Amino acid sequence: MSENRGDAEERGDSVDAKFWSHRQSKAPNPPDKAGREGKAGAGSADANRYRMDYPSIGTCVIINNKNFYKSTGMKIREGTNADAEAVERTFRGLGYKIRREDDRTVGEMEELLRTVSQEDHGGSASFVCVLLSHGGEGTFYGTDGFTELETLTGMFRGDRCKTLVAKPKLFFIQACRGTCLDDGIQTDSSSDKSSDRIPVEADFLYAHSTAPGYYSWRNEGTGSWFMQALCEMLNEHSSKLELMQIMTRVNHKVARDFESFTLDPGSNKKKQMPSTTTTLTKDFYFP
Protein backbone atom coordinates (compact mmCIF):
# COMPACT_ATOMS: atom_id res chain seq x y z
CA MET A 1 0.00 0.00 0.00
CA SER A 2 1.24 3.48 -0.79
CA GLU A 3 2.38 5.60 2.08
CA ASN A 4 0.13 8.35 0.74
CA ARG A 5 -2.95 6.13 0.54
CA GLY A 6 -4.83 8.10 3.18
CA ASP A 7 -4.33 11.38 1.36
CA ALA A 8 -5.14 9.73 -1.95
CA GLU A 9 -8.44 8.45 -0.64
CA GLU A 10 -9.34 11.98 0.41
CA ARG A 11 -8.19 13.90 -2.66
CA GLY A 12 -7.38 11.32 -5.33
CA ASP A 13 -4.45 10.68 -7.67
CA SER A 14 -4.29 12.03 -11.20
CA VAL A 15 -1.85 12.22 -14.08
CA ASP A 16 -0.15 15.15 -15.78
CA ALA A 17 -1.44 14.42 -19.26
CA LYS A 18 -4.06 15.79 -21.63
CA PHE A 19 -5.32 12.49 -22.97
CA TRP A 20 -6.19 9.67 -20.61
CA SER A 21 -6.23 6.15 -21.98
CA HIS A 22 -7.08 2.88 -20.24
CA ARG A 23 -5.25 0.91 -22.90
CA GLN A 24 -2.63 -1.20 -21.24
CA SER A 25 0.06 -0.16 -23.67
CA LYS A 26 3.25 -2.10 -23.89
CA ALA A 27 6.27 -0.37 -22.49
CA PRO A 28 7.74 1.90 -25.18
CA ASN A 29 10.95 0.99 -26.91
CA PRO A 30 13.91 2.75 -25.33
CA PRO A 31 14.79 5.99 -27.11
CA ASP A 32 17.68 6.06 -29.53
CA LYS A 33 19.15 9.09 -27.72
CA ALA A 34 20.89 8.84 -25.39
CA GLY A 35 29.97 6.31 -0.93
CA ARG A 36 31.21 9.38 0.48
CA GLU A 37 32.82 9.82 3.91
CA GLY A 38 32.23 13.24 5.42
CA LYS A 39 31.48 16.37 3.48
CA ALA A 40 33.79 17.94 0.96
CA GLY A 41 35.10 21.38 1.74
CA ALA A 42 33.74 24.21 -0.35
CA GLY A 43 37.11 24.72 -1.94
CA SER A 44 37.86 21.07 -2.69
CA ALA A 45 40.58 20.70 -5.32
CA ASP A 46 39.38 17.23 -6.37
CA ALA A 47 39.41 17.24 -10.19
CA ASN A 48 36.51 14.80 -10.18
CA ARG A 49 34.21 17.14 -8.24
CA TYR A 50 32.51 20.29 -9.40
CA ARG A 51 33.89 23.40 -7.75
CA MET A 52 31.58 24.85 -5.13
CA ASP A 53 33.83 27.66 -3.88
CA TYR A 54 31.86 30.39 -5.62
CA PRO A 55 30.14 33.31 -3.88
CA SER A 56 26.76 31.67 -4.53
CA ILE A 57 25.54 28.12 -5.13
CA GLY A 58 23.25 29.59 -7.79
CA THR A 59 19.68 30.32 -8.84
CA CYS A 60 16.72 27.94 -8.76
CA VAL A 61 13.95 28.82 -11.23
CA ILE A 62 10.57 27.18 -10.58
CA ILE A 63 7.85 27.22 -13.25
CA ASN A 64 4.61 26.02 -11.68
CA ASN A 65 1.67 25.68 -14.06
CA LYS A 66 -1.66 24.83 -12.45
CA ASN A 67 -4.36 26.47 -14.59
CA PHE A 68 -4.64 26.18 -18.37
CA TYR A 69 -6.55 27.86 -21.15
CA LYS A 70 -9.73 26.01 -22.04
CA SER A 71 -8.49 25.69 -25.62
CA THR A 72 -5.68 23.36 -24.50
CA GLY A 73 -8.09 20.77 -23.12
CA MET A 74 -5.88 20.49 -20.05
CA LYS A 75 -7.27 19.99 -16.56
CA ILE A 76 -6.30 21.99 -13.48
CA ARG A 77 -3.25 20.43 -11.80
CA GLU A 78 -4.50 20.24 -8.23
CA GLY A 79 -1.66 19.57 -5.79
CA THR A 80 1.03 21.31 -7.81
CA ASN A 81 1.27 24.20 -5.33
CA ALA A 82 2.28 21.68 -2.67
CA ASP A 83 5.15 20.67 -4.98
CA ALA A 84 6.20 24.26 -5.65
CA GLU A 85 6.19 25.11 -1.95
CA ALA A 86 8.20 22.01 -1.05
CA VAL A 87 10.73 22.76 -3.81
CA GLU A 88 11.05 26.36 -2.63
CA ARG A 89 11.75 25.30 0.95
CA THR A 90 14.21 22.60 -0.08
CA PHE A 91 16.34 24.58 -2.53
CA ARG A 92 16.27 27.73 -0.42
CA GLY A 93 17.55 25.58 2.43
CA LEU A 94 20.38 24.44 0.16
CA GLY A 95 21.33 28.07 -0.42
CA TYR A 96 19.77 28.75 -3.83
CA LYS A 97 18.22 32.07 -4.78
CA ILE A 98 14.62 31.19 -5.65
CA ARG A 99 12.68 32.59 -8.58
CA ARG A 100 9.17 31.13 -8.82
CA GLU A 101 6.75 31.83 -11.66
CA ASP A 102 3.17 30.51 -11.64
CA ASP A 103 0.86 29.87 -14.62
CA ARG A 104 3.07 31.02 -17.48
CA THR A 105 2.27 30.80 -21.19
CA VAL A 106 4.70 29.20 -23.61
CA GLY A 107 5.96 32.61 -24.65
CA GLU A 108 6.42 33.72 -21.05
CA MET A 109 8.29 30.53 -20.13
CA GLU A 110 10.62 30.89 -23.08
CA GLU A 111 11.24 34.58 -22.38
CA LEU A 112 11.88 33.90 -18.69
CA LEU A 113 14.45 31.19 -19.32
CA ARG A 114 16.05 33.13 -22.17
CA THR A 115 16.47 36.09 -19.82
CA VAL A 116 17.91 33.92 -17.04
CA SER A 117 20.30 32.18 -19.46
CA GLN A 118 21.67 35.57 -20.54
CA GLU A 119 22.31 36.74 -16.98
CA ASP A 120 25.79 36.65 -15.50
CA HIS A 121 26.22 33.39 -13.56
CA GLY A 122 29.96 33.90 -13.13
CA GLY A 123 29.64 33.96 -9.36
CA SER A 124 27.42 30.88 -9.21
CA ALA A 125 28.46 27.26 -8.78
CA SER A 126 25.40 25.77 -10.49
CA PHE A 127 21.92 26.35 -11.87
CA VAL A 128 18.64 24.58 -11.08
CA CYS A 129 15.34 24.66 -12.95
CA VAL A 130 12.20 22.88 -11.71
CA LEU A 131 9.39 22.47 -14.25
CA LEU A 132 5.89 21.52 -13.05
CA SER A 133 3.16 21.07 -15.64
CA HIS A 134 1.40 18.75 -18.07
CA GLY A 135 3.53 17.20 -20.76
CA GLY A 136 4.16 14.54 -23.38
CA GLU A 137 7.26 12.83 -24.68
CA GLY A 138 9.65 15.70 -25.32
CA THR A 139 7.01 18.38 -24.73
CA PHE A 140 6.07 20.65 -21.85
CA TYR A 141 2.92 22.72 -21.42
CA GLY A 142 2.51 26.40 -20.76
CA THR A 143 -0.94 27.63 -19.88
CA ASP A 144 -1.81 28.23 -23.54
CA GLY A 145 -0.19 25.24 -25.27
CA PHE A 146 3.01 23.24 -25.42
CA THR A 147 6.58 23.69 -26.50
CA GLU A 148 9.50 21.33 -27.00
CA LEU A 149 11.26 20.65 -23.73
CA GLU A 150 14.55 20.99 -25.56
CA THR A 151 13.63 24.57 -26.45
CA LEU A 152 13.56 25.43 -22.75
CA THR A 153 16.61 23.49 -21.61
CA GLY A 154 18.65 24.27 -24.72
CA MET A 155 18.96 27.92 -23.77
CA PHE A 156 21.56 26.85 -21.21
CA ARG A 157 23.85 24.99 -23.61
CA GLY A 158 27.49 25.94 -23.44
CA ASP A 159 27.38 27.97 -26.64
CA ARG A 160 24.36 29.95 -25.45
CA CYS A 161 25.05 30.47 -21.75
CA LYS A 162 28.76 31.08 -21.41
CA THR A 163 28.79 31.87 -17.68
CA LEU A 164 27.50 28.37 -16.85
CA VAL A 165 30.04 26.53 -19.02
CA ALA A 166 31.57 23.58 -17.12
CA LYS A 167 29.07 24.10 -14.28
CA PRO A 168 26.21 21.74 -13.42
CA LYS A 169 22.80 22.66 -14.82
CA LEU A 170 20.10 20.60 -13.11
CA PHE A 171 16.58 20.24 -14.50
CA PHE A 172 13.88 18.49 -12.47
CA ILE A 173 10.75 17.86 -14.52
CA GLN A 174 7.34 16.84 -13.21
CA ALA A 175 5.22 16.06 -16.29
CA CYS A 176 3.83 13.09 -18.18
CA ARG A 177 5.91 11.65 -21.01
CA GLY A 178 3.27 9.49 -22.69
CA THR A 179 0.13 7.45 -22.03
CA CYS A 180 1.43 4.11 -20.78
CA LEU A 181 0.48 2.84 -17.33
CA ASP A 182 2.90 0.82 -15.21
CA ASP A 183 1.15 -2.16 -13.61
CA GLY A 184 4.17 -3.05 -11.51
CA ILE A 185 5.42 -6.58 -10.86
CA GLN A 186 5.94 -8.64 -7.74
CA THR A 187 9.54 -9.11 -6.60
CA ASP A 188 11.17 -11.93 -4.67
CA SER A 189 12.74 -9.61 -2.08
CA SER A 190 11.57 -6.87 0.15
CA SER A 191 39.38 21.80 -12.56
CA ASP A 192 40.00 19.87 -15.63
CA LYS A 193 43.12 20.81 -17.59
CA SER A 194 42.95 18.08 -20.23
CA SER A 195 41.27 20.32 -22.81
CA ASP A 196 40.13 23.89 -23.31
CA ARG A 197 37.09 22.67 -25.25
CA ILE A 198 34.08 20.75 -23.98
CA PRO A 199 30.83 19.68 -25.68
CA VAL A 200 28.02 22.25 -25.57
CA GLU A 201 25.73 19.55 -24.14
CA ALA A 202 28.08 18.81 -21.23
CA ASP A 203 27.22 19.19 -17.54
CA PHE A 204 23.45 18.75 -17.67
CA LEU A 205 21.19 16.59 -15.54
CA TYR A 206 17.60 15.95 -16.62
CA ALA A 207 15.61 14.24 -13.87
CA HIS A 208 12.17 13.26 -15.13
CA SER A 209 9.34 12.18 -12.87
CA THR A 210 8.66 9.16 -15.07
CA ALA A 211 10.22 6.96 -17.73
CA PRO A 212 9.73 7.78 -21.44
CA GLY A 213 6.23 6.99 -22.66
CA TYR A 214 4.53 6.83 -19.26
CA TYR A 215 2.04 8.82 -17.25
CA SER A 216 3.29 10.73 -14.20
CA TRP A 217 1.21 10.66 -11.02
CA ARG A 218 0.28 13.58 -8.78
CA ASN A 219 -1.82 13.47 -5.62
CA GLU A 220 -4.27 16.34 -5.46
CA GLY A 221 -3.67 16.82 -1.75
CA THR A 222 0.02 16.13 -1.15
CA GLY A 223 1.59 16.84 -4.55
CA SER A 224 3.39 14.66 -7.07
CA TRP A 225 5.12 11.46 -6.02
CA PHE A 226 8.38 12.50 -7.67
CA MET A 227 8.69 16.03 -6.32
CA GLN A 228 7.76 15.04 -2.79
CA ALA A 229 10.30 12.18 -2.88
CA LEU A 230 12.96 14.47 -4.39
CA CYS A 231 12.54 17.07 -1.67
CA GLU A 232 12.54 14.45 1.09
CA MET A 233 15.72 12.78 -0.18
CA LEU A 234 17.51 16.11 -0.73
CA ASN A 235 16.63 17.24 2.77
CA GLU A 236 17.81 13.95 4.23
CA HIS A 237 20.96 13.26 2.21
CA SER A 238 22.29 16.51 0.68
CA SER A 239 24.85 16.94 3.45
CA LYS A 240 26.56 13.63 2.79
CA LEU A 241 25.75 12.01 -0.58
CA GLU A 242 26.66 12.80 -4.18
CA LEU A 243 23.74 13.93 -6.35
CA MET A 244 23.40 10.71 -8.37
CA GLN A 245 23.32 8.71 -5.14
CA ILE A 246 20.50 10.95 -3.98
CA MET A 247 18.63 10.47 -7.26
CA THR A 248 18.96 6.70 -6.88
CA ARG A 249 17.25 7.01 -3.51
CA VAL A 250 14.52 9.10 -5.12
CA ASN A 251 14.00 6.33 -7.67
CA HIS A 252 13.79 3.76 -4.90
CA LYS A 253 11.27 5.74 -2.89
CA VAL A 254 8.94 6.43 -5.82
CA ALA A 255 9.19 2.87 -7.12
CA ARG A 256 8.61 1.19 -3.75
CA ASP A 257 6.55 3.54 -1.61
CA PHE A 258 3.92 4.84 -4.02
CA GLU A 259 0.97 3.25 -5.79
CA SER A 260 -2.03 4.96 -7.35
CA PHE A 261 -5.38 4.84 -5.62
CA THR A 262 -8.33 5.84 -7.77
CA LEU A 263 -11.98 4.82 -8.07
CA ASP A 264 -11.33 3.76 -11.67
CA PRO A 265 -10.13 0.13 -11.97
CA GLY A 266 -8.23 1.06 -15.13
CA SER A 267 -5.96 3.45 -13.29
CA ASN A 268 -5.91 1.95 -9.79
CA LYS A 269 -2.82 0.33 -8.26
CA LYS A 270 -0.39 1.71 -10.84
CA LYS A 271 3.29 2.38 -10.30
CA GLN A 272 5.81 4.96 -11.53
CA MET A 273 9.52 4.91 -12.33
CA PRO A 274 11.50 8.18 -12.46
CA SER A 275 14.21 8.51 -15.08
CA THR A 276 17.41 10.56 -15.02
CA THR A 277 19.60 11.40 -18.01
CA THR A 278 22.92 13.02 -17.30
CA THR A 279 25.87 14.54 -19.11
CA LEU A 280 27.47 15.64 -15.85
CA THR A 281 31.23 15.23 -16.08
CA LYS A 282 32.06 15.36 -12.37
CA ASP A 283 30.59 14.45 -9.01
CA PHE A 284 28.17 16.99 -7.60
CA TYR A 285 28.10 17.56 -3.84
CA PHE A 286 26.02 20.31 -2.27
CA PRO A 287 28.20 22.64 -0.17
Instruction: Give catalytic residue positions.
Output: 134, 176
- Decide if 62 contacts 100 (C-beta within 8 A): yes
- Residue 186, Cβ neighbours under 10 Å: how many? 4
214 three-class SS: strand
- Of 140, 210, 206, residue with least CA distance to 179: 210
- Residue 91, Cβ neighbours under 10 Å: how many? 24
- Per-residue DSSP letter, 25: P
- Per-residue DSSP letter, 114: H
- Decide if 209 contacts 174 (C-beta within 8 A): yes
Q: Cα 151 to chain center, whole Å?
A: 16
Residue 218's beta-bridge partner residues? 14, 224
> How far from 102 is each of 67, 109, 125, 250, CA to CA, in Å?
9, 10, 26, 25
Rounded Cα–Cα distance for residues 239 and 67 (Å): 36
- Of 227, 222, 133, residue with least CA distance to 172: 227
> How far from 271 is each of 132, 149, 155, 216, CA to CA, in Å?
20, 24, 33, 9
Rounded Cα–Cα distance for residues 243 and 181 (Å): 28
> How far from 254 is each of 2, 27, 286, CA to CA, in Å?
10, 18, 22
- Decide if 221 contacts 10 (C-beta within 8 A): yes
